[in-house]
Amino acid sequence: MIAVDTNILVYAHREDSSWHAKASEKVRWLVETGLDWGIPWPCVHEFLAIVTHPKIYRPPTPFALAVAQVDAWLASPTIRLIGEGNRYWDLLKDNLTQSKAVGPVVHDARIVTLCREFGVTCLWTADRDFSRFGSVKVENPLIRKKVSVTQSNVSTQ
């Protein structure tokens, strides 16, 4: 399963992003292929916070439009929302210890831990900070030429 990080979601949504066309194409590909894909809950929260923030975007996305965007993604029959489960704390401690993540990078460790707990095989992100965590494969779909996902490496939850 592929999980999608906040920045890819923001770029796919915001038409004024220089990465909009590519990000939108990649997210649309996930929705249309029928493969399982996911969004970690913290990425949903962060998406809403970023696109509606008047100091980040001028004009910001109106709240109703941002919510409608999330609703549209959640309408995909193969999406999985990724949240904390019973093993979360132990996995988070392990990720934090191994990566020596502190400060703002703890948020990235949280995303990776959720992906790890949920069986995500690849996290799509444009954030290079995720490369410090070895427990989940990280790819930037905006710079890759071809996405190659087969049914053999896609897990279902």
Burial of 148 (0-12, 13-18, 19+ CB in 10 A): exposed
Classify residue 75: in a domain, yes or no.
Answer: yes
Classify residue 9: in a domain, yes or no.
Answer: yes
Classify residue 82: in a domain, yes or no.
Answer: yes
pLDDT at 155: 40
Classify residue 124: in a domain, yes or no.
Answer: yes
Classify residue 116: in a domain, yes or no.
Answer: yes
pLDDT at 146: 52
49-83 tens-digit pLDDT: 999 999 999 999 999 999 999 999 999 999 999 99
Classify residue 153: in a domain, yes or no.
Answer: no
- Domains in the chain, number: 1
What residues in the chain have per-residue pLDDT under 70? Answer: 144-157
Classify residue 157: in a domain, yes or no.
Answer: no
- Scan for tokens 């427990």, then name that residue: 135
Q: How far is CA 57 from CA 72, 89, 97, in A?
A: 21, 34, 35
Residue 72 sits in a domain whose CATH number is: 3.40.50.1010
pLDDT at 145: 56
pLDDT at 106: 94
Residue 102 structural domain: 2-148
Classify residue 154: in a domain, yes or no.
Answer: no
pLDDT at 147: 47
